[in-house]
Amino acid sequence: MESVDGFWWEPKHPETRWPGTLNFGGPEGANLKLFLEPEPLSAGLLRKVFSSEIRDYDLLLGDSTSGEKVTLLKAFNRSTDNVFANAVIVGFHADRADPLISTAAVVFRHLDEWWDRAAISPDVSLG
């Protein structure tokens, strides 16, 4: 499971950013836990962007504390401080919910533990 700490916002309201932790890559999907100030300090700002009503977000953007850009696609809030995303893009901020991606990479960790090493052979002709 991957975990990313950072600041998150809706592109329509870039001036309002919330600290939080995104966890993804596990069976629970992608969940963003926001760390919000106690009421009433953040109540007005919170209602502008996140609310306790179920709301959909085509895009949510984030900057990790290590400087990595993150995009959450097709997200919705489960509660005031918990957002579920259907897809996560790490590496850039998308400008729309269906971004044009020309190159992608996939990492398979511990593949040899669940698939026999003899079944995997590189294709050097692609080089």
Q: Is residue 104 part of a domain?
A: no
Instruction: Domain of residue 7: give its range.
Output: 2-97
- Is residue 112 one of the residues assigned to a domain? no
Q: Specify if 47 maps to a domain.
A: yes
Structure tokens at 118: 């003899």
| Residue at 103 is within a domain | no
Number of domains in the chain: 1
DSSP of 55-77, one letter per residue? -EEEEEEEEETTS-EEEEEEEEE
Residue 116 falls within a domain, yes or no? no
Q: What is the pLDDT along the chain (127 residues), one digit of tens a residue?
A: 789 999 999 999 899 899 999 999 877 889 999 987 655 444 445 444 555 566 889 999 999 999 999 999 999 988 888 999 999 999 999 988 887 777 777 776 776 666 666 656 666 676 5
24 part of a folded domain = yes
Q: Which of 35, 48, 36, 32 is nearest to 87 (CA)?
A: 32
Examine residue 35 and state whether it is found in any structural domain, yes or no.
Answer: yes
Q: Is 102 within the bounds of a domain? A: no
